[in-house]
Chains A and B, each alone.
Chain A
């Protein structure tokens, strides 16, 4: 009687515990397979992103070149009365700025129409620059800028983003 009960109890216990463990393990196997697929998918995605990264990195300003003096030199601002300013300063050490970061910049000051057009063209073709506002004969100057216009000159305001690429972040990825 005890043997019979023990045998039945053992079988039932084994079936219940085993069944529960079986489904738990099956769930784990499905999750691990899914995770494996996700990692493979991420790997492919990462490769594609790397390709895109390399493609757009050439159009951006390399890290270290995003210095005010360097940009003023690139735009030949010494020959004009225009002023270049960074409106926001990105933190290159921020983990979110591992691959790219951007500055807001502003170029403002009195200039004649022809040189103003040239300046806009130069700013638009500056590596990593994305202009979002230009204004001729603006009534509003940049913050803290005071300027007096001479004959034939108007106030020019150029605003945009300067995207900077961090090659070290790219190599780490």
Chain B
């Protein structure tokens, strides 16, 4: 470990004096404006709250006990299994997400707009439903294969959405130059387009990785022992919070390493548009003979990721007798879900903005730390984060405990990284020189943010908001513990009905979840800058 006093000048020496700072970001020396720093630090402080709880619980029986839990052979084994699963799912999501984004945004794919809506829908399917559907159809999938399949199918939109937004935002001029210099469409994609997508794809991949690490629904159904299952066993089998906290702390370390690794892959390339900052729409690439193949690929993904779970819901309705069609409860529940999810998405996006802007525009320890903080708790299972919020709320915010505002704050803590990743990728594409120009023309830092940076980044930020909206809608563990007593969301109803095996009664709630998620997907699919 280098001491901070030594590392700062050492880093500065790596670039010769007078060399231009990497475009897309400011020089290392410039500090972000207070307008950004203050809210960003507050956001980061909220995001690391659960870590404080983990420390309290993990160490309540002394460090030796906690270390005993962590150093156990089984812990290492579970960690390796989790990492194996994570790597596989991230690779699969990158392949599916990037290919679909390119096909729907940049090619003359027939029905591109409809496809771009359809391929974001899997996000609304709870991993539990997907895993259940596959397991019913093919029990032999249980284990690694089934877990990897189910998790890929529900989480590839984490990659698709930011990459599609980035593709819409990149300047086609780059590609036109490459084409004019003799590159074919495929080579252009590989050498010009793909590198520009790196921040969006890496950010999405990171979210997928953290999602896989924290998932319990799919792996428990698929009976694949992962690290998170170890944590749940600690609660469910031994009613013991100490080992669960110690194991969660390991996940936090994993997250910090993953975020650091992702930061390293970012490099120093220029992601912003050239020219005035108004991107034209790229001329869609003709698919030619590959059209049928491209259509088959999109169709297959939508069929397995959305069609198949929907068909399973239909099957539930057909075989069960518990179908008590109750439109009143369904619509009340749907409205409640919409309300809390929209509020959750709005708050999360708002809080993520300063962190995302700083992470995109600035280098240095502060920017780094803020981003790390936003992510730190994201791989920790929902139940642990929920208990952390219970711990703090009953002590320091008793009047808010089990009231809607606290539930919304919980969504913010849980899903901050989703919005931060989207904001950061979007801001990276807006040329920083425009910020400087606006400043020199007398705009305040806040004015620059409002009038220059955010309007340019709006599509990406909106994609992040939509993503957050959908994940809030299907959140379960924290909602169960923190919702106002008696309140139901679609996810909690789904949990209740499937808990007694009343699959027919559960089907309408699952279907409503998927349909409601289609609304933001549709808006985003339709929106073209």
Verify that A and B bind, or say they do not: no
